[in-house]
Amino acid sequence: PIPTTPTSPPVVNSNTSPNYSKPNVTDHSIHFFILTPVLLLLLGLGGVIYWRYRGCTLENSEQQRQNRQTLPITAHTGGSVLLPCSCTDPQTKPKQLRWRRPKGDTWVEMSFNSDQYRNRVQLFNDSSPGNLSLLISHLTEEDEGDYECTVEVSHVTIRLTVKDTDHSIHFFILIPVLLLLLGLGGVIYWKSRGWRQEQTESQEQRGMKKDEQKTQGCQFLPDAPQNRYFLSLRLEVCEGCCGEAAG
């Protein structure tokens, strides 16, 4: 057999072939610039919806959860105390608010209409939706203990200590006030007394001046026959003031 030489396939010039066309290449950069704003918009709307329906997040709740600490507050019997609790957004109104106290191993919701709290507690969320603080008046020793402000996703724990009213504080406050009142009373008394003395002395001085004026008008001449006529005229002018002296 006669050996054959392998032949290579014909080379086709793509630039000159009339049936050749370039493959379509997708430009992904166009999709990226279109999809990015859409994704950002969807994320923003999702965040708004999330925070909208998540509700109120209490201040200091995360810090208390991490440190496992309570907020200490001290008050005195017979007084008032404000237990602070508020949302991070003052205009956010929680869907559910509960103030609770421990009873045994569980937390029990406080009933503001009960005999223990009737006419003694007040909330402020009517005027400010995010202000959930609780005001307790006419404190007693039974009010001492832990309180928990709870909303949908967070809570804050407060530990209230109620001490007896220290009457020594009132004593130290009243003593300076009494001393001040006594000092003012003494000043007023001495001023009024000096004014009366001045009035009395002025009246006495006016009387003495009148007497001197009368005495000066009754200067008599020597008892001589030629002066008796002038003496009688002087006596008439004095209107009898020198009657005794003339006698």
pLDDT at 90: 84
Note the pLDDT of residue 38: 81
Whether 235 contacts 217, CB under 8 Å: no
Q: Which two tokens stand for residue 80?
A: 């008032």
pLDDT tens, 94-127? 888 999 999 988 999 999 888 889 999 999 877 7
Neighbours of 92 (CB within 10 A): 17
pLDDT 10s digits, 132-146: 999 999 999 999 999
Amino acid letter, residue 244: E
CA–CA distance, 121 with 123 (Å, rounded to integer): 7
Helix (H) or strand (E) segment spanning residue 80: none
Burial class (CB in 10 A: 0-12, 13-18, 19+), 160: buried
pLDDT the model gives residue 145: 95
pLDDT at 109: 93
Task: Give φ, ψ of 98 to 5 degrees.
Answer: -140, 130
Q: Which two tokens stand for residue 99?
A: 């103030």
User: How far, in Å, are 63, 69, 112, 156 from residue 66 at the CA level?
Assistant: 5, 8, 31, 12
pLDDT under 70: residue ranges of the chain: 1-28, 31, 46-54, 166-171, 207, 209-247
Q: CA-CA distance, 83 to 9, in Å (whole number)?
A: 93
- Return the pLDDT at 223: 52
Using alpha carbons only, what angle is made at residue 190 by residues 184 and 194, rounded to the nearest 5 degrees? 145
Pair 130, 137: CB distance under 8 Å: no
